Amino acid sequence: MNQQNSQAKNHPSAPPEAEGMAGNTLHGMFDTTRELLSALGQATSAKAEELSSLTLIQLNGETRARIDQLVAAGVVKNRRQGAELLIKAGVESQETLFKQVADTEKEIHALHRQLHSLVTG
């Protein structure tokens, strides 16, 4: 223990202003780390939302070639945009079909409600 005390006496403590600077630096590092972790959390959350709308599909050769043709011609920037364009065009061209599907769904739901009323009385 005497040896430890003599070593402590041989190493003077840091001046108070140096200790204050070290404390400020440490607090700054903690604040920066907290901000970085918060930003990382927000970015991760945004990417998770993006991934939740992801749909994987297998394309046949002809469809893929058409999408590649759109990309090569500069109509779209990439295959994703090409696929979106083709799907949107298909949905728009089948508007009558989608209206019929929606109407039929409403009828089915109404029939389910009627059946439920009959059973539960």
Q: How far apart are CA 111 and CA 118, in angstroms?
A: 11
Give the pLDDT means over successive 10-residue stretches in the chain (121 positions): 52 60 78 90 84 87 96 96 96 96 97 94 80
Q: Indicate the helix (H) or strand (E) that contains 121.
A: none
**CA-based torsion, 59, 64, 70, 72: positive or negative:** positive
pTM over 0.85: no
Domain assignment present for residue 31? The answer is yes
pLDDT for position 19: 63
**Residue 12 DSSP symbol:** P
Domain assignment present for residue 84? The answer is no
Domain assignment present for residue 36? The answer is yes
pLDDT for position 28: 84
Domain assignment present for residue 87? The answer is no
pLDDT for position 55: 85
Q: Indicate the helix (H) or strand (E) that contains 35.
A: helix 16-52
Number of domain units in the chain? 1
Domain assignment present for residue 24? The answer is yes
Domain assignment present for residue 42? The answer is yes
pLDDT for position 109: 97
Residue 19 domain boundaries = 15-53
Domain assignment present for residue 45? The answer is yes
Domain assignment present for residue 103? The answer is no
